[in-house]
Amino acid sequence: MTTKPESAHLLDELEVICRQRGGRMTRQRRAVLGKLLAAKRPLSAYELRDMLRPEDASVTPASTYRCLDFLMEHGLVHRLETTRSFVACEHPDHPHAVQFLICRQCGTVVEAEDKRIVAATESLGHRHGFALDHRTVELTGICAMCKIEGTHVPRPSL
Ligand SMILES: [Zn+2]
Ligand SMILES: [Zn+2]
């Protein structure tokens, strides 16, 4: 794997979190998570498959999806329905309902955890008699950088 030392360190930490939640981090699961962390942007399952293939010829679309399912189950990865892609969780240390701000232009994704939105969605569900099992909110638009530049720009490094 060609990840930087800090990603390797982060991967070790995530492996511990995963183990605490009863999951076993296999080599391929770790490789998928490593690619998502390094990309710092959402990736589709096919992009991931293409990135993993040179390092591991046994990777298939099905095995990539199985890894992603596992990582989502253990709270390390989120799926973005809007763009049919996957992103490494920014707050993997605790379970949470999440809101995403997705830039239509550069693909930047901001993961937010706004308790007021969580409370509002819960009460909306209750009012309509829904027991919610998917609380992710996805909002799309143009990010601050793209608004300023008015051009295609990469994700700003914070
Ligand atoms: Zn998250
Ligand atoms: Zn943007």
Gap from CA of 94 to ligand 1 centroid (Å): 8
**What domain range is 29 assigned to?**
5-88
Q: For the segment 143-152, what is each residue's pLDDT rounded down to a tens digit?
A: 999 998 875 5
Gap from CA of 150 to ligand 2 centroid (Å): 9
pLDDT at 3: 46
Angstrom distance (rounded) from CA 97 to CA 78:
10
Closest ligand to 136 CA?
A: 1
Angstrom distance (rounded) from CA 145 to CA 15:
33
Q: Which domain-ending residue is among 61, 88, 115?
A: 88
List the CATH number of the domain containing 18. Answer: 1.10.10.10
Report the sign of the C-alpha dihedral through residues 90, 91, 97, 101, in that order.
negative
Q: Where are the beta strands (DSSP E) in the chain?
A: 77-80, 85-88, 99-103, 109-112, 137-141
> Number of C-alpha atoms within 13 angstroms, CB side, residue 68?
25
Q: For the segment 77-111, what is each residue's pLDDT rounded down to a tens digit?
A: 999 999 999 999 998 988 888 999 999 999 899 99
Run of H or E including 142: none
Is residue 72 located within the same domain as residue 138?
no
154 within domain boundaries? no
Q: pTM for the complete prediction?
A: 0.84
Kindly state the average pLDDT of the residues 25-45: 93
The band of 5, judged by pLDDT with boundaries at 50, 70 and 90, is low
Neighbours of ion ligand 2 (CB under 5 A): 103, 105-106, 108, 143, 146
CA separation (Å) from 97 to 47, 113, 114, 125?
A: 26, 7, 9, 14
Q: Which domain-ending residue is among 69, 88, 107?
A: 88
pLDDT at 76: 95
| CB contact burial 135-157 (16+ within 10 A = b; e otherwise) | eebbeeeebebbeeeeeeeebee
93 within domain boundaries? no
Closest ligand to 105 CA?
A: 2
Tell me the pLDDT of the chain averaged across its residues: 89
Is residue 70 located within the same domain as residue 104?
no
Kindly state the average pLDDT of the residues 39-45: 91
pLDDT at 139: 96
Residue 153 has pLDDT above 60, yes or no: no
Closest ligand to 111 CA?
A: 1
Q: What percent of the chain has pLDDT over 90?
A: 75
Gap from CA of 61 to ligand 2 centroid (Å): 29
Only one residue has tokens 């990469």, namely: 154
